[in-house]
Every structure is written in C-alpha cells, then in structure tokens.
Amino acid sequence: MKEGFVLPESEIISDEDINLINKYTKRELNKQEVYVFSLVLCDNEIDRDYERFTSESLEALAKLFEGKTGILDHDAKSEKQLARIFSCKIQTLKIKNSLGENYKRLIAKAYIPKTKNSEEIIMQIDSGIKKEISIRCRVEKKTCSICGDNINICHHIKNKNYFNGKNQVLCHAILENPIDAYEWSFVAVPAQVAAGVIKTFSNSNSNYNQEYNNSLDIIEKIKHESNKKGMKNLYNIIKNMENEIKIGREYINNMRESVSKNLLFFNQNLNNNTVKKITDSLDYEDLKNLQKNFSKNNLIKSQLAPDFDKTGANEFLEFKI
C-alpha cells in the first residue's frame, strides 16, 4: 500500500500521549489544546506498482517518521503544515498478506494544535473529508523478488509471473533499508500514481547510483505535474522511453532463452538449472556474441534476431521477426 488513511476511531488523549507531544512543542500543552488522530502510513502488501516494504523496512520507517510533519498535497510551504506525528508503531493483524506472511501495517499518531485556524481541518478529518494520505520516503535498495538483484538492472519485469521450480510467482520490488522519511500528506486522489510513496534508489558509495537516484526524483515530479502547461510532451517522451525499456528487456530475455536452448543442444551434459545460472550472469554483449556464434553454426535462432550486418548508431534498433 503506497497511500494510507486516517483511522475512523475516536481518540482519547492519554498522559503518555501528551508527554510525547510536548517533546515537540516550545511550551507544554495540555490535553484540551490538542486534537489527536491515528493513521495508517503503509504496510507489507504488494502495492499497485508491484512493490512492497519488508517487516524490517516498516520497523525502520516507524523510527524515521516520528516527529515528521503532515502537510497538504505534498506542498512543503510552511502554511501547508498541519500536523505532526508523535508516535509510530507496527501493528500485526490476524490475517495474511498475498505472500502468506503476517499482515503488518505502520500506525502513527499525530496531533494538531486547537486554534481558530485549525478548526476547519479538524472538522474535515472528523467528517471523513480529509482521510486519504500518502508518504514520501527514500529507500536504499529495491530488490527483485525473483533473483535478489537490483530490480532496476536485472532482466526480470515487475507484474510478470515467473516459474520458481514449483509455482508461478509474481515479480515485484522489495523495498529495503529505508534511509529517510520526508513527510506525509493529505491528498485528494491517492489512486493517482503520484499520490503514492515516492521511493528512490540510493547508494552513498556510488556516484552513478546517486545520479540515477536524482533522475528518478525528477521523473516522479514530471509525472506528478504532467497536467501542467509544457509538461505533456516531456511526459509522453518518458512514457515512450519506458515502453522501449520494456521492449529491450523482453528482447534480452528472448536472447537468453535462445542461448539456453543452444547450450542444452550443444552440450547435453548440462541441466536446465546450470544453464539458467550461466545465461542469467551474461550481459547483452556476451549474449550477442554467443548468439552470433550459434547463428554461424546454424543452431537454434532467437525469434527476435537483430540485423548484425547493420553497423552504426542504429545497430540495435532494427530487428528481423
């Protein structure tokens, strides 16, 4: 779940609550001066972008989100700040998620000072108008559920089923090692892509990954603002790039399958598992060289074979079907 919601239960402010709240105030407030409500931030289920937090990630986020500000529509202007989280904990329900694990969700408690200016937002929360929320955080690793590698560079595709030797399993990204939590926000339409968790890949030891990380932030912002003037064309370009990446991954998967068949044909002492380990470790250039060698010997050809007689900038853009 990438978006959360305000829990409908009414809140009774305890002594512990007011003590925790006063850790964030300049002067001590009493129970009559604050409005308290609970909300679900995220959980360990596979979300609509085929990504999920682990239980360990939820534990880390519980610490990171303590003290974080609640705003409107992810607008970081000071006048948009409405509330602050003062407590976070993991709640385990007596149900299973889609993977058969215990379903866990991150529950937060937040407070709003009772003032003339906050009367409207408090009424909107009580009446269910302000209910849906989303969060912004950063994770260090996005791991492929199939192979365990970085899902941004492996050949598996999210929302595609793969055979694990026993069953067909859904490929998704496992979000690990949260390193920062920015804020949480009331949103009008959390079903929109931009209303979910904005997650980026980070590795402080790699300049490349940092640049990649920044690029993802920019792409998410462009998607979010695609309805604004001058952004439509850029958004369409990005969508076309995403489609081309998907086609490229499918093409490389096709090459791997073809090379695997040829290896099994050429050496019958090999088994499927050994061949899969070999081909999964090969990059595009290795696969291409093997495919060319097999083609010269009239072995099994890939269904999508690039025209290797072509050279130059368009070498990989032309295919024979």
pLDDT in the model for residue 30: 95
Token pair 């050429």: residue = 266
Q: How far apart are CA 133 and CA 131, in angstroms?
A: 7
pLDDT in the model for residue 214: 47
Greatest Cα pair distance, the chain, in angstroms, is 84
Residue 99 and residue 46 in contact, taking contact as beta carbons nearer than 8 Å: yes
More confident: 121 or 301: 121
13 burial via Cβ count (<10 Å: 0-12, 13-18, 19+): middle
**Tally of CB atoms within 10 A around 16:** 9
pLDDT band of 237, cuts 50, 70, 90: confident
* Residue 23 scores a pLDDT above 50: yes
pLDDT band of 77, cuts 50, 70, 90: low
168-170 and 3-6 as β-strands: parallel, antiparallel, unpaired?
Answer: unpaired
pLDDT band of 126, cuts 50, 70, 90: confident
**Least confident range of 12-26, 146-160, 266-280:** 266-280
Handedness of CA 270, 274, 280, 284 (dihedral sign): negative
Q: How far apart are CA 240 and CA 253, in angstroms?
A: 20
pLDDT in the model for residue 134: 84
pLDDT in the model for residue 194: 31
**Tally of CB atoms within 10 A around 176:** 15
Token pair 């030797």: residue = 165
Q: What are the domain boundaries of the chain?
A: 3-206, 233-320
Give the chain as a 3 state SS string.
CCEEEECCCCCCCCHHHHHHHCCCCCCCCCHHHEEEEEEEEEECCCCCCCEEECHHHHHHHHHHCCCCEEEECCCCCHHHCCEEEEEEEEEEEEEECCCCCEEEEEEEEEEEECCCCCHHHHHHHHCCCCCEEEEEEEEEEEEECCCCCECCCCCCCCCCEEECCCCEEECCEEEEEEEEEEEEEECCCCCCHHHCCECCCCCCCCHHHHHHHHHHHHHHHHHHCCCCCCCHHHHHHHHHHHHHHHHHHHHHHHHHHHHHHHHHHHCCCCCHHHHHHHHHCCCHHHHHHHHHHHHHCCCCCCCCEECCCCCCCCCCCCEEC
pLDDT band of 76, cuts 50, 70, 90: low
Q: Averaged over 228-246, what is the pLDDT?
A: 69
pLDDT in the model for residue 274: 79
> Residue 93 corresponds to which tokens in the numbers above?
């329900």
Residue 221 and residue 159 in contact, taking contact as beta carbons nearer than 8 Å: no
Q: pLDDT of 246-291, one tens digit each?
A: 787 888 888 888 888 887 777 777 777 777 878 787 777 778 877 7
69-72 and 173-186 as β-strands: parallel, antiparallel, unpaired?
Answer: parallel
What backbone torsions phi and psi does residue 44 show, to the nearest 5 degrees?
Answer: -105, 25
For the question of whether the overall pTM of this predicted structure is more than 0.85, the answer is no
pLDDT in the model for residue 79: 67
Residue 151 and residue 173 in contact, taking contact as beta carbons nearer than 8 Å: yes
Residue 57 and residue 142 in contact, taking contact as beta carbons nearer than 8 Å: no
319-320 and 168-170 as β-strands: parallel, antiparallel, unpaired?
Answer: unpaired
Calculate what percentage of the chain has a pLDDT beyond 90. 31
Instruction: Pick the most confident of 71-75, 178-182, 218-222, 288-292.
Output: 178-182
